[in-house]
Amino acid sequence: MKKTRLIVLPILASAALALSACGGGEEPSSPATTTAASSSSAAPSSSAQAAPAGAVEKTAPGTKLKVGDRAVISWDKGAAAVTVTAVEAGDKAAMEQQYGDRAKGLTPYYIRYTVENVDGADHAFASSPNFGLAMADGGPTGVVITGELGSCTDDGAPKDFTTAGAKYEACDLSATQDGAQIAGAEFDDDEYSDAPLVWTK
């Protein structure tokens, strides 16, 4: 299992509390960046031709979608279609076991999605796009977490993710303070940093 990190940002606190773990063992904490990856399944078409990234129409920043809707984003020096398929509460007990006392009072969430090759380029082994929670109040979650938990895993694009139409499934782990209300999931990388794509239920 890849290294996991958890940073809790308590209200009225001047410093973040950090925990890092790999499997069940603790390691020294360090600033975390969200990373993702995924298990794979591809359905390539041998006759597909690579399309210039600029020829693929992207979904406009700020677009509001429903879970199950597809969006096309810039990704891995090209483009991909992404579909958020579920935003579901995860296993609190497993999270506390993996991250220790720092995970108490937190609720994990699994953001499940599919990635589709739409430009026909070779995206083998590319890191998956990163998704986070969209909160009902529009604010931050107050928690930064990386890694995998239970069935929420991500190994990145498979080696055969090289032709238009190929797809794979992935899951990003996120978390909130217990009782916080979520609206869905969001993507805020690159040109979407100021106006994220948001998927709601």
Tell me, what CATH number does 105's domain have?
2.60.40.1240
The parent domain of residue 100 ranges over 4-38+56-200
What was the pLDDT predicted at 55?
77
Residue 67 CB burial class (10 angstroms; 0-12, 13-18, ≥19): middle
Q: Tell me whether residue 196 is in a domain.
A: yes
Using pLDDT thresholds of 50, 70 and 90, give the confidence band for residue 9: low
Across residues 17-45, what is the average pLDDT? 37
Measured from the Cβ of residue 130, the count of other Cβ atoms closer than 10 Å reads 17
Q: Which amino acid is at 93?
A: A
Q: Tell me whether residue 50 is in a domain.
A: no
Mean pLDDT over each residue of the chain, to the nearest integer: 81
Residue 12 CB burial class (10 angstroms; 0-12, 13-18, ≥19): exposed
182 contacts 174 by C-beta, under 8 angstroms: no
Q: Tell me whether residue 49 is in a domain.
A: no
What was the pLDDT predicted at 13?
32
Q: Tell me whether residue 8 is in a domain.
A: yes
The helix or strand, by DSSP H or E, that contains position 26, with its residue range, turns out to be strand 25-27
Comparing 16 with 134, the larger pLDDT belongs to 134
Q: Tell me whether residue 183 is in a domain.
A: yes
Tokens of 67: 């879970």
Q: Tell me whether residue 45 is in a domain.
A: no
127 contacts 77 by C-beta, under 8 angstroms: no
Any idea which of 14-23, 69-78, 174-183 has the lowest mean pLDDT? 14-23
pLDDT over 80 (residue 43): no
Find the Cα–Cα–Cα–Cα dihedral 184, 83, 146, 12, rounded to 10°: -20
Tokens of 194: 């100021």
User: How many domains is the chain built from?
Assistant: 1
Q: What is the pLDDT of residues 90-112, one digit of tens each?
A: 999 999 999 999 899 999 999 99
173 contacts 90 by C-beta, under 8 angstroms: yes
2 contacts 147 by C-beta, under 8 angstroms: yes
